[in-house]
Amino acid sequence: MIPPTFDYLVPATLPEAIALLHEHGDEAKVLAGGHSLIPAMRLRFAEPSHLIDISHIPGLDYVREEGGFLKIGTMAREVVLEDLPWISERYPLLVDTTKMIADPQVRNLATVGGNLAHGDPANDHPATMLAYRAEIEITGASGARIVPIDEFFTDFFTTALEHGEILTEIRIPIPPSRSGGCYLKVERKVGDYAAAAVAVQLSLAADGSIEQAGIGLTNVAALPTRAVDAENALRGQQPSDALFAQAGQLAADASSPADDLRGSAEYKLTLIRELIQRALRRSVERAQGRS
């Protein structure tokens, strides 16, 4: 379990980090919290020639509301989201998600950006960012570009990040009033990857009907999955158990889980059907200010 050899580089600025990525080719990797990369290196699934540690670059660990977005800097660690009371109040889906990731020691180091950039469909933030309709800021030598989350995950463990680029910011549109969300995950034990998990973000119209719905699914396909048909079925409707059951079925239809140690495909589809209904109920309660 000793990782392969590599060169370790500590840039002082973002442009310097990007220049190092270009200089050292596609065997160079960015090191942020390291809690996906270092385990992969120890198992020799990843053998980067160079690690470019961005954790000492000042000013990348912010979490703030600005210009209509909640902006999360690439070095913001999971623990920061748990510790900020205003995040818990205004972004319950985000905090629910963070609290289900690994354990406190891991969350002291792991970053939200890394959780996304790793491109693992078993990670928790991808589904949440799908539900929030987040945007990802990617910075390369020629400047920054914005990628909608729907275009960010391109294949199994593959994202829109090109060689020489760094994920620099996550942008979550600030939810309107009467919004609520929730993340529900079934795991075999605390800190495990999900057998299945669902992220729901809703906003209600003045008459109580569902105005907007975002639904992301974790670990039930090769890519983080948006349950588009379920979202469409909810939009414009009054919340009801029958509607939620229909959405649960549509979300299960959007899933293609595999049999593995965490359960059979059939079991995971059952989980999705049920978790969606529970998450929708709780999200509506939160949007109505009842919990």
Partner 1 sequence: MSKHSITIEINGESFTQEVDSRKLLIHFLRDDLALTGTHIGCDTSSCGACTILLNGKSIKACTFFAVQANNQKIETIEGVEQGGQLHPLQEGFHQEHGLQCGFCTPGMIMRGKELLEKNPNPTEEEIRWGISGNLCRCTGYSNIIKSIQYAANKLNEKQEEAA
Site for partner 1, rule CB under 8 A = 1-8, 31, 34-35, 38-39, 42, 51, 53, 55, 79, 102-106, 108-109, 190-191
Residue 272 CB-density burial (10 A; 0-12 exposed, 13-18 middle, 19+ buried): buried
In the bound state with partner 1, the residue whose beta carbon lies nearer, of 99 and 133, is 99
In the bound state with partner 1, the residue whose beta carbon lies nearer, of 83 and 260, is 83
Q: How far is the CB of 107 from partner 1 (least distance, A)?
A: 9
| 245, 232 Cβ separation under 8 angstroms | no
In the bound state with partner 1, the residue whose beta carbon lies nearer, of 37 and 117, is 37
Q: How far is the CB of 128 from partner 1 (least distance, A)?
A: 20
Q: How far is the CB of 50 from partner 1 (least distance, A)?
A: 9
Identify the H or E element spanning 117: helix 112-117
CA distances from 214 to 54, 61, 144 (A): 32, 27, 26
Residues 50 and 163: their CA atoms lie apart, in Å, by: 14
- 201 closest CA partner among 217, 214, 210, 212: 214
Q: How far is the CB of 9 from partner 1 (least distance, A)?
A: 8
Q: How far is the CB of 159 from partner 1 (least distance, A)?
A: 22
The encoded tokens of residue 104 equal 């406190």
How do the residues of the chain divide into helix, strand and coil, expressed in percent and rounded to 5? 35, 25, 35
Q: How far is the CB of 4 from partner 1 (least distance, A)?
A: 7
In the bound state with partner 1, the residue whose beta carbon lies nearer, of 44 and 145, is 44
In the bound state with partner 1, the residue whose beta carbon lies nearer, of 87 and 129, is 87
Beta strands (DSSP E) in 24-116 are 28-31, 50-53, 63-66, 69-73
Please name every residue paired with 202 in a beta bridge, in sequence order, or none if there are none.
Answer: 180, 213
In the bound state with partner 1, the residue whose beta carbon lies nearer, of 8 and 242, is 8
